[in-house]
Amino acid sequence: MSDDPRRGQPPGRSPAGGEAAAASAAAPAGAGRPLILDQLFAGDSLYALRAAVAAHATAAGVPAGQVPDLVIAVHELATNAIRHGAGHGRLRIWADGGALHCEVTDDGPAAPATPAERWPAEHGHGLWLIRQVADETSLHSGPGGTVARVSFSLPE
């Protein structure tokens, strides 16, 4: 998936970081950095995904009080990938620039989606919640699927 054309498109939202966030979103997940976690998921594997995220975030140095926020953010993105995508997705986590970055991708809906069926940014509370707890967020949906990223600052 490293040659995925969706990765070169601008993010849907990046409330912090400006040009640096846009440049980071344009690069493939973990470009030049080793991945901390690279895991496929589906509806029946969300528990295992949450456990893996918590363990890897703790090992990467995320403060204990912030690990639940990161787990909730990734869970919400994964749930959206399952619900609004083809029923499965991929999570990649890497550290870079003093932050832990998490990317959830899906391959798009099982059937052609109308714009209203893609990840609805204005409906529900999952994406709103993610924007409250993450330091940076981006979301880009297209006919080939969705790429969603969240970043959490790591302590120095």
Q: pLDDT tens across 23-71, in order?
A: 344 456 766 789 999 999 999 999 999 999 999 999 999 999 999 999 9
In a domain, 3, yes or no: no
User: Tokens 């498109």 appear where?
Assistant: 9
> What are the angstrom distances between the C-alpha of 37 and each of 25, 54, 138, 155?
18, 11, 19, 20
Q: Which domain holds residue 143?
A: 35-153
Residue 115 per-residue DSSP state: G
pLDDT tens digit sequence for 77-107: 999 999 888 899 999 999 999 999 999 999 9
Domain with residue 135: its CATH number is: 3.30.565.10
- This prediction has a pTM of 0.75
In a domain, 102, yes or no: yes
Q: How many domains does the chain have?
A: 1
In a domain, 133, yes or no: yes
Sign of CA dihedral 132, 138, 147, 63: negative
Phi (first) and psi of residue 8, to 5 degrees: -85, 0
Which amino acid is located at 149 in the chain?
R
